[in-house]
Amino acid sequence: MGNPDFFPIKPADYGKFMILSLGTGTAKIEEKFDAAECSKWGLLGWLYNRGATPIIDSFSQASADLVDIHASVLFQALHCEKRYLRIQDDELKGETASVDVSTPENLNRLVDIGKALLKRQVCKVNAETGKNEPDQNRGTNEEELVNFARMLSEERKARLGKEGDVEL
């Protein structure tokens, strides 16, 4: 529609994109069930089992994981992995893992978890296992956020400079 904030791009030119993905955190993955046990479940066993809802938990976790895996592997394959940053704590426990506990104590714990998360090493998805592992080629989440902000600021300055060069 002629908006100068958009630019022509080829469908697979991901090197021009930057993705900052901030997760809400997930519970520490506990291997509660094994394949032998699950193979014996009927419909009700999948809906509710030992206080858990296996089918709902599986779909919810799989959806989030697949989006992260797809984006991470895609940016790695295109050699522009530094333009994708996922910050997520996947080891929450107890009330901090619940989306419906908004007590002042829990919110303060979440703030502390967020601050500690900034100090942790950036992680990336291991394409073989699907698990997040520290990325030894990158800094902490905080350092990478600063790098993202710097890249965005430089891009904005470059765009504004181009606008100033154009005579109307």
Q: How far apart are CA 54 and CA 46, in angstroms?
A: 5
- Do the beta carbons of residue 85 and residue 118 sit within 8 Å? no
Question: Could you give all domains of the chain from N- to C-terminal order, each with its CATH number?
Answer: 13-24+33-165 (3.40.1090.10)
Contact 111, 95 (CB under 8 A): no
C-alpha pair distances (Å), 136 with each of 22, 58, 108, 164: 20, 30, 30, 41
Q: What is the rounded end-to-end Cα distance, in angstroms, of the chain?
A: 19
Counting as low any pLDDT under 50, the low residues of the chain are: 168
The pLDDT score that the predictor gives to residue 127 is 78
What is the distance between the alpha carbons of residues 52 and 56, in angstroms, rounded to a whole number? 9
Q: Output the pTM of the full model.
A: 0.72
Facing residues of 125 across strands?
132
pLDDT for 140: 97
Output the pLDDT for position 168. 46
